Structure 1
Amino acid sequence: MTADRLSRRDFGRLTGLAGAAVALPGRASASERGWRMTGRWLPGLGEFDATVMGFMEDRAITCGSLAMARNGRLVLARGYTWSTGPVPATSPTSLFRTASVTKPVTAAAVLRLMQDGRLKPDDRAAGLLGLSTSADPRLADVTVLRLLQHLGGWSRERSADPMFDDGAIAGALGKRLPIGQEDIVRHVTSRALDQAPGTAYVYSNYGYLLLGRIIEKVTGTTYAKYVQDAVLTPLAIRRMRLGRTLVPAAGEVTYHSQYKSTTVMDPSGTLVAAPYGSFNHENNAFNCGWLASAVDLVRFARIFDGVTPVLSPASAARAFAPPETGTRGNGRYYGCGWHVRPAGGRTVAWHTGSLPGTYTLLVRRFDGLAWAAMFDQRDDPSGERYRDIDGALHDTADDVGTWPAGDLGGSL
């Protein structure tokens, strides 16, 4: 353990006050960055500050947020800013792009429609959406449940991800950028599947695009309105909203990347910062589109406890049931909107999110813990892995001797 990491750990034990500003040793001093922390944690949880701050320093991340709940009680809600200039302080309620942490949200909406009898697991996507099966009759075998579990038959290993292949799709359709969701569906439907539906798990952003359109078809309203009314409002979650590519929402952080790319938002060929135009955020609304705070994500995770008005215990359990393909050799599998893995005789469900300028993590442990971590970048010259935050937070949680009583929920 390095000396500067030890000093961060001591700092975490001794402080926890909102708005604290310090210059930590090592890299922070060398870069003249200063720390600002906002929010609160209950006694005994200050070690999480050291974990997140060390992770951010190693990757030169400017903004981060962490929220944690235990048995439905909010026990930690923190915002972290490590900056040199007039960057607004990150708060526990700052909005970040959730990226693929949107998928558990979409899955919750679909499960609610199943619970209400408005959808069935074996309903066919082609029939619901009026998709032609002439290019591949196997498309008729793509069910709602298979879409939820990434068993639809599209492979990113054999074909490019159509949700991030705007230029090629525009060229194939003879259109100018930007393309829309209708263009993506038209293009993919005109091509053969990569494999038979239900035979192999292959992660598919496009499958969740179809699920969002099914939600709109069945409900007769917009995806955003149905999710807000049926999934978020019952838990008093009101800050979440769909993000936009070029127009930030009030309270949304600024995203950073070391890369630039040609914009897909117009045909100009302009080179832009990767988070702002290298992909079309609006097209990815149903698979990567929500903005959320870390606090709201851990509140959302309670839906899958089966104790809220949103999902019954049976509907919540369906989210974590193994798919028809079974589990992989290591016991892992993808349920309905969640990755699931065995852990110490229990299970852990989680989802990561990754877009240019965004890295997010939502974890739900079956010992009553849930947490959300969010950052305003996913790449930097250090080459450090961003997924390492997962193990670091599990380790810190496992080291907590006695979890405190109390609930911060009423103050955030």
Structure 2
Amino acid sequence: MKQPNLKLLFYCCPEVAIMRIAIFAFITALSAFLLGAVAQTQATCPEPAHRQTDSVFVVRQHIHAAMPGLLERYQVPGAAVVLVQDGEPNWSHGYGLAIPDRQIPVDPATTLFQAASVSKPVTALTVLTLVRQGRVALDQAILPQLQGNTGSWRLPASSYSRDAVTLARVLSHTAGLSVPGYGGFPPGTPAQSLLDSLHGAADAGNTPLKVVQPPGQGFRYSGGGYSLLQLLIREWADEPFATAAAHRILEPLAMTNSRFPTLPSASPPLAATFNDQGQRAPARHFTALAAAGLQTTATDLARLLTLLMPGHRGEVPGRGVLQPALIDRLLTPMPHSDNDLVLSGSRYGLGMALYELDSGRRLAYHPGDNLPNWHNLIAAIPERRVGLVVMTNAAGGRALRKDLLCLWLDALNEAHPEGRIGGGCASVERIPMQVIGET
């Protein structure tokens, strides 16, 4: 900018000189301010999301790029994946086909899957609502807490103390109970009553529920224990188990496509499932709803995970459904709960398996496997407010979910326990950072 001859202006026209001096000073100051602001903005602006190595964008990239290959490798017709970020469901995608012979794609928000043992965390949370109300106590024997309106069934006497079978031990599979899991009933076969199943489950080798090892002394996975919880919930909530779970957990979390049905939904929206030979097989139904009967979508299960963590708007764990202290108890390993449910070296809390990552953060997870071949997984790192849901409809889903867990942990820069996952993980490669479409 050319400076004026101030001396000449001052002598010839002092008023004009003063005005021009003021304008020149203002323009000079304004230029300096704007240049400084630009420099400060350049210095403090965060990097774009695609450059942040710990962003949801990177996690999406890894999973979205890997999923088509995983479906092909493990011969899985369809899968739904949802991510939780900052305490809320953030991204979802359907892969492959829910109904291959009708070319119906998987939609993570509307395609129904059997959640299988992922039913157990919902059951555990339902029990904790009764604890919150003071109706039952975690560390007291479970039998005296039944109201007595249970027909002719009682936990059979054994050489082990039934008084040591506490509610917390049943929730954590440390009560020493029998009946690991249930096969369910094929179409046309009526399900048993709950009391008959407790006497001897027809879809579990006619095995009665009983104490078969010292309570509190070790982990013994027991779907039968969750049938006992189903009875407890029915008695203390004073309504059918499915209704109580809906009123206390599913509805408050807006899990609008989730329920515990006595019979599977029509297909669609229920995904088709396939036997070990790749042939389509009909969905089964269950007496043991609390252990294996949840029917849901991947998007709904992501909402369930949010209950375990804070939200980005200041929400606390429990989200008003449960107190944070009860969520903390759920995520605290029970004594003698060491297990290899999916990750070798895991422990178990009140309805969730727990694994300590190399970072010191705690991974909470639960697999789900129903016949013929529903294979699912939910996982969360509550401290980081992140989560993963994957639901599949064929035998290969069991291996797919392990690889996806490794990919997810790798994308989060959490050292994944590759050597401690049964069967190992597929090699995890960094994905080129390119924009990928998403739903």
Q: Identify the TM-score tier after normalising by the shorter chain.
A: 0.7 to 0.9
Contact residue 98 and residue 292 of structure 1 kept, 8 A: yes
Report the equivalent of 1:342. 356
Residues 11-410 of structure 1 aligned to structure 2 (within 5 Å): 44=58, 45-82=60-97, 85-93=101-109, 94-129=111-146, 130=148, 131-132=153-154, 135-136=157-158, 138-155=161-178, 161=180, 163-164=182-183, 178-187=191-200, 193-244=211-262, 247-248=265-266, 251-258=269-276, 275-277=282-284, 281-305=285-309, 306-325=317-336, 332-343=346-357, 344-355=359-370, 356-365=372-381, 366-379=383-396, 387-398=402-413
Give the TM-score, by structure 1 length. 0.72
Gaps of 5+ in 1: 1-12, 14-40, 168-175, 261-271
- Cα distance in 1 between the residues matched to 2:407 and 2:137: 39
Contact residue 156 and residue 210 of structure 2 kept, 8 A: no
Q: Deviations over 1:336-379 (max 9, x none)?
A: 11110111111101001111220101001132211100111134
Give the TM-score, by structure 2 length. 0.68
Q: How far off its partner does 1:191 sit?
A: 7.1
Structure of higher CA gyration radius: 2
Bigger CA drift: 391-400 or 112-121?
391-400
Work out the number of aligned pairs and report it: 338
Gaps of 5+ in 2: 1-49, 202-206, 310-316, 414-429
| Aligned partner of residue 307 in structure 2, secondary structure | helix
- Cα distance in 1 between the residues matched to 2:394 and 2:199: 32
| Aligned partner of residue 235 in structure 1, secondary structure | coil
Report the equivalent of 1:8. none
| Aligned partner of residue 104 in structure 2, secondary structure | coil
Q: How far off its partner does 1:87 sit?
A: 2.3
For 1:86, give the aligned amino acid: R
Contact residue 259 and residue 274 of structure 1 kept, 8 A: no
Contact residue 243 and residue 249 of structure 1 kept, 8 A: no
| Aligned partner of residue 79 in structure 1, secondary structure | strand
- Cα distance in 1 between the residues matched to 2:231 and 2:76: 35
For 1:59, give the aligned amino acid: Y
Contact residue 51 and residue 396 of structure 1 kept, 8 A: no
- Cα distance in 2 between the residues matched to 1:106 and 1:116: 16
- Cα distance in 2 between the residues matched to 1:240 and 1:104: 14
Q: Deviations over 1:36-79 (max 9, x none)?
A: xxxxx975523321222221111111111001111223321111
| Aligned partner of residue 56 in structure 1, secondary structure | helix
- Identity over aligned residues, as a percent? 23
Report the equivalent of 2:19. none
